């Protein structure tokens, strides 16, 4: 582990995983809308959102995707990790009150280049709402 509590690239092995869970609140959506400036009514206007295929408000997709970033930056590989890329496929909506569980699993490790690829998924009640791939630059115990 590095001095910040994260995993060095040398510590990672395919199959290792880490998760976190967060229940999405009204405040989360309002704050994310303010920070991102994404004020799409699908996220903020219940009456309008009722007229859509979702039948009501949904959380910002990137809010849920941010939980993947939290796992990567805080748990595994953890502090010192730098994002190089992220793919995302949005599979289902997230609503206020849903608990999103973000899980990352090591798929590939390249010690020489200090890079790893993680499978990333967010679920609600065990059902995938986001699937993707994270590519990262990691700390090294050798440097």
Give the pLDDT band of residue 90 (cuts 50, 70, 90). very high
Letter string b/e over residues 116-132, b meaning 16 or more CB atoms within 10 A of that residue's CB:
bbbebbbbbeeeebbeb
CA 139-140-141 angle, 5° bins: 130
Give the pLDDT band of residue 98 (cuts 50, 70, 90). very high
Give pLDDT, residue 143: 61
**Cβ count within 10 A of residue 103:** 18
Nearest Cα residue to 86 out of 62, 60, 110:
62
Element (H, E) at 21: strand 17-23
Give pLDDT, residue 6: 86
Question: pLDDT (tens digit, 9 = 90+) per residue, 20-76?
Answer: 999 999 999 999 999 999 999 999 999 999 999 999 999 999 999 999 999 999 999
Instruction: Please indicate, yes or no, if residue 67 is contained in any of the structural domains.
Output: yes
Instruction: Please report, for the domain that includes residue 70, its CATH number.
Output: 3.10.129.10
CA distance 31 to 42: 15
Instruction: Please indicate, yes or no, if residue 56 is contained in any of the structural domains.
Output: yes
Instruction: Please indicate, yes or no, if residue 2 is contained in any of the structural domains.
Output: no
Give pLDDT, residue 5: 81
Instruction: Please indicate, yes or no, if residue 31 is contained in any of the structural domains.
Output: yes
Instruction: Please indicate, yes or no, if residue 125 is contained in any of the structural domains.
Output: yes
| Residue 52 domain boundaries | 9-137
Instruction: Please indicate, yes or no, if residue 1 is contained in any of the structural domains.
Output: no
Residue 76 tokens, joined: 């595994």
pTM: 0.94
Residue 29 tokens, joined: 């959506």
CA distance 79 to 18: 14
Instruction: Please indicate, yes or no, if residue 115 is contained in any of the structural domains.
Output: yes
Give pLDDT, residue 14: 98
Q: Does the pLDDT value for residue 116 go beyond 70? A: yes
Average pLDDT over the chain reads 96
Instruction: Please indicate, yes or no, if residue 100 is contained in any of the structural domains.
Output: yes
48 phi and psi, to 5 degrees? -70, -45
Taken as a whole, the chain contains a residue count of: 143
The proportion of the chain whose per-residue pLDDT surpasses 70, expressed as a percent, equals 99
- Quote the number of domains for the chain: 1
């Amino acid at each position: 582990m590095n001095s910040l509590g994260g995993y060095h690239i040398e510590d990672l092995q395919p199959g290792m995983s880490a998760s976190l869970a967060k229940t999405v609140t009204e405040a989360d959506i309002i704050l994310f809308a303010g920070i991102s400036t994404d004020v799409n009514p699908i996220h903020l206007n219940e009456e309008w959102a009722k007229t859509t295929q979702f039948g009501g408000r949904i959380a910002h997709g990137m809010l849920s995707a941010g939980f993947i970033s939290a796992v990567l930056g805080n748990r595994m590989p953890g502090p010192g990790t730098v994002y190089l890329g992220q793919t995302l496929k949005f599979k289902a909506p997230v609503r206020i009150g849903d608990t999103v569980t973000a899980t990352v699993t090591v798929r590939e490790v390249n010690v020489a280049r200090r890079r790893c690829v993680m499978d990333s998924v967010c679920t609600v009640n065990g059902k995938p709402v986001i699937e993707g791939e994270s590519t990262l630059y990691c700390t090294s115990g050798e440097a």
